Amino acid sequence: MGPHPAVAAIRLAVRRVLHDILTEQNSQPTPPSPGQTPHERPSSPLVLVACSGGADSMALASALAFEAPKLGIRAGGVTVDHGLQPGSDLRAEEVVLRLRELGLDPVESTAVTVGREGGPEAAARDARYTALDAMAVRHGAIAVLLGHTRDDQAETVLLGLARGSGIRSLSGMAAVSGADGRYRRPFLSVDRQTARKACMVQSLPVWDDPHNADPAYTRSRLRHEGLPALEKALGKGVVEALARTAQLSRDDADALDTWARQAEASVRDAAGLLECAKLYALPPAVRRRILRRAAIEAGAPAGSLFARHLEEVDRLITGWRGQGAINLPGKVVAQRQGGRLVIRQG
């Protein structure tokens, strides 16, 4: 008799991602680190799982522990203590013990200091990824698995829709992201209930983070109020449809990004300045991508550059009425000069 369907589903998702990782590794052999000869490198590649102790990441850890040895992969784990709740250090120690019980090695807990920039959720996320990056580098891990589910993806799409910041924000979380594709999300096609069921049938203890039910957090309100209301009004297929929207949006956004990169050379003059007439002839979605890239190259922080900024710059091309310079984040200035668009530090 095979495993429970929920356990089979999470193992299959992880197996597919591990196969992808190995295929990439085999097609692009990495040179040894400085001072390290090839025979000194570990014989088996290391994949880490980021685990909070919640159902999603515990299910992921259990699947990695089961699948990795069959493929000659070492499986390790890391838990991040954000220090945002009393006893969070003890909770992190418990997670470390659980991961070791699953057979993961190395396993590490790392404490971070969460700042305030961008709001509490964004600050915690930034601190977490900084810590995960550091551990991956320290242990020479070829990938870090994250437990985001299809439900998380649906929430991310809705949050992007509410921001009104374009098709890229509707594309949700990527299955592969980070430096050199370090981060992998095997569960984007697995729903949250399947992950929880997999923990239950394997008798894995899980921890429910109170922040996930705290109405002070936008994502928590969306999870407990917004999505249930949408499902009540539109039916149970909303989460799956939103996740599918994310993938379709990502495909479209990737295609437009490629088009913009290819078109950029054709709209610059011999001095490298952007020609307004040639920009005007491009579709708006392509033109605004070129403007965004130019602003970032001039020093505008990507995270502070919003659709409204690009709309103002775009009007220098499509609605030219002798406007003055447009001030952008990062002290970057955009202005039209003799049929050219100049974007530079002010």
What is the predicted pLDDT for the residue at 82? Answer: 72
Among residues of the chain, what percentage have pLDDT more than 90? 73
Amino acid identity, position 324: G
99 vs 199: CA distance, rounded Å: 13
- pLDDT at 27 > cutoff 60: yes
Q: What is the pLDDT of residues 264-279, one digit of tens each?
A: 999 999 999 999 999 9
Query: What contacts 183, CB < 8 A, 6 or more positions away?
Result: 132, 143, 144, 146, 176, 177
Mean predicted lDDT score pLDDT of the chain: 90
Task: Please count the CA atoms within 13 angstroms of the CA of 83 that sit on its side-chain side.
Answer: 9
Q: What is the pLDDT of residues 56-96, one digit of tens each?
A: 999 999 999 999 999 999 999 999 987 667 667 888 899 99
The pTM of this model reads 0.84
Q: What is the pLDDT of residues 281-319, one digit of tens each?
A: 999 999 999 999 999 999 999 878 888 899 999 999 999
H-type alpha helices, 141-273: 150-163, 167-170, 192-201, 218-221, 227-234, 238-264
Residue showing tokens 């050379």: 265
Neighbours of 186 (CB within 10 A): 27
- pLDDT at 39 > cutoff 50: no
Q: What is the pLDDT of residues 223-282, one digit of tens each?
A: 999 999 999 999 889 999 999 999 999 999 999 999 999 999 999 999 999 999 999 999
- pLDDT at 171 > cutoff 90: yes
What is the predicted pLDDT for the residue at 116? Answer: 67
β-strand pairing of 340-345 with 332-337: antiparallel
The candidate with the shortest Cα–Cα distance to 254, out of 153, 167, 149, is: 167
| Mutual angle of helices 55-67 and 5-27, in 10-degree steps | 60
